[in-house]
Amino acid sequence: MTNTALNTNLRNSILRDFMEFVAGKYETDTLFCSSSSFTFPVVDEEGNEKFAKISISIPRGTRNGEGGYDAFDGYAAAEDFKLEQEEKAAKKAASEAKKEAKRKADEAKREAKKVVKELNEKGLDGMIKESAE
């Protein structure tokens, strides 16, 4: 058998197993929506009817430039995904910290403007008298 045929048979076997599991677990129909995916009806927390779709693939890997493929490495893909998620979280944390620093700086500017405005309205003598009381 060719590698493509082996992958197709493996994918179909896994797809059937998942369809049987979902049909039993959720007591619902499972429907093919392509040769590598199926769908089934679900209900969300508010009772709205929706569909879930599950796709199964057996990735070939990446082209190696020699007319073939370098095998897909699921462990490396998972590690790459983990690193991407950590990078996104770090960027989000930095962005939040920057927003908080800007908010504090803006608040300090507003306070400074408020003091300057009071000083201009009351004059220096008025401010001195008010603080002495």
* Over residues 81-87, mean pLDDT: 96
pLDDT the model gives residue 28: 92
Average pLDDT over the chain, rounded to an integer: 90
> 65-73 contacts: CB < 8 A, separation 24 or more?
none
- Single out the residue of 8, 11, 30 nearest to residue 21, CA to CA: 30
Measured CA to CA in angstroms, residue 86 lies from 76, 92, 110, 118, 127 at distances of 15, 10, 36, 48, 53
Task: Provide the pLDDT confidence category of residue 133 given band limits of 50, 70 and 90.
Answer: low
Q: What is the pLDDT of residues 39-81, one digit of tens each?
A: 999 999 999 999 999 999 999 888 888 888 888 999 999 999 9
Please tell me whether the overall predicted TM-score, pTM, comes out greater than 0.75 for this model. Answer: no
Mean predicted confidence (pLDDT) in 84-88: 96
